[in-house]
Amino acid sequence: MSVLNLEKTCPNTSARAGKLQTRHGIVETPVFCPVGSQATVKTLTAEEVKSLGFNMILCNNYHLYLRPGIETVAELGGLHRFMKWDGAILTDSGGYQVFSLSPLIELSDEGVVFRSHLDGSRHFITPESATLFQEKLGADVIMVLDECVHIDADYTKVERAMERTHLWAKRCLDAHKIPEQSLFAIVQGGVFSDLRRRSAEYLTSLDFPGYALGGLSLGEAKEITYSIVDETVSLLPKDKPRYLMGVGAPEDIVEGVARGIDIFDCVLPTRVARNGALFTRSGRINITNSGYGRKDEPVDPSCDCYTCKNHSAAYVHHLFDAKELLAYRLATIHNLRFMRNLMSDIRKSILDGTFASFKADFLNNYKPTNEEVRIEQKKKWIEVRHPKEG
């Protein structure tokens, strides 16, 4: 079972540093997990991900269930051997992917019927099977099956989904047979504070080894996200890991750490990298802009990644312009190294007792993407994959 040993909590904030013990080594927290949904962090080998400084990644039960199949991975020695990764692995149950990717779902207390986004084939997953699948994959941390609803869902629907999530969480806990794996619960309740409180209180009564906050960063304003995190974290055990699912913008990670979050994951750094958006300490830049076409210096002169140490911004710009595959690799390497360096600096500041000043300096210098544009893009992305009822 994964155990979190807290080392220090920073004065004036809820930021904390610890060490998460797993079957595949110790993970220092706070930690950001690159996403390798289909047993690969896109464009990179496992060795390259490790060389960037990561020792914990996320893979996805839904995607691996559809291909190559859970039994195939199990027969080939489990997920670690299959993808040649010797660090820790966290697997998502697939509840969010069913919500966001399946063109049609049928929900009941028994489980969820969904159609594959790949070929339209029909599938049925229960809390018990979702748990069994993740056990067969051999992950270090696995998640309960939960119901995630549309950001604009009304109170009644969110409450119903939360209650079903509670029912499924208990069934996952009862079905869980491998104590060396940690099964985390997922607190739901949308943007409704009273539902979040009820969810946290019920799930903590079941004494899971860790707790995640789900159903956030789905298109709500950041201040709402931060408020919900604040209220929910205060209800969770101090001696157990706290995981904010699907959050990976640099400013959100800093804010999440300040509120006591230990674990983050998100496709954002790798997804935007493939579209030419590169992180710097002053904010994202778009390397495809013409102004970088003759810039004979690194994307970020202060960055120690392979891309910045070996190539000019002009070269990376050229690769994107020519649609060369190397462009996506170099951009991904840069963004993931940025995230690793950010987490290292955050952890060091917590241990030094200077996190509050680090946070203020970082947020003062980092320019996030436009909030209104971000919310609109996220809502459109979700709406295309999961139209509202009615």
287: phi then psi, degrees, rounded to nearest 5: -65, -15
Asked whether residue 127 carries a pLDDT value surpassing 50, the answer given is yes
Indicate the pLDDT class of residue 151, thresholds 50, 70 and 90: confident
Of 140, 146, 262, 265, which is the active-site residue?
Answer: 265
pLDDT given at position 375: 61
- 65-81 pLDDT tens trace: 999 999 999 999 999 99
Which stretch of DSSP H or E encloses residue 143? strand 141-143
* 278 and 174 both lie in a single domain: no
CA–CA gap between residue 280 and residue 302 (Å, rounded): 9
pLDDT given at position 250: 98
- Cross-strand partners of 6: 18
Asked whether residue 146 carries a pLDDT value surpassing 80, the answer given is yes
* Structural domain includes residue 196: yes
CA–CA gap between residue 342 and residue 338 (Å, rounded): 6
* 233 and 328 both lie in a single domain: no
* 63 and 178 both lie in a single domain: yes
Rounded mean pLDDT, 11-27: 96
Is 361 in the active site? no
Asked whether residue 387 carries a pLDDT value surpassing 50, the answer given is no
Domain that holds residue 250: 3-266+371-385
* 234 and 279 both lie in a single domain: no
268 to 71, 147, 265, 332: CA distances (angstroms):
30, 22, 9, 10
Asked whether residue 262 carries a pLDDT value surpassing 80, the answer given is yes
Of 92, 140, 252, 262, which is the active-site residue?
Answer: 92
* Structural domain includes residue 358: no
pTM of this structure: 0.95
* 133 and 190 both lie in a single domain: yes
* 242 and 324 both lie in a single domain: no
User: What's the domain count of the chain?
Assistant: 2
210-213 and 182-187 as β-strands: parallel, antiparallel, unpaired? parallel
* 100 and 139 both lie in a single domain: yes
* 227 and 147 both lie in a single domain: yes
* 62 and 37 both lie in a single domain: yes
Is 265 in the active site? yes
Print burial letters for 349-388: b (CB count within 10 Å at least 16), e (below 16): bbeeeebbebbeebeeebeeeeeeebbeeebeebeeebee
CA–CA gap between residue 182 and residue 142 (Å, rounded): 6
- 333-381 pLDDT tens trace: 999 999 999 999 999 999 999 999 999 999 999 999 877 665 665 555 4
CATH classification at residue 47: 3.20.20.105
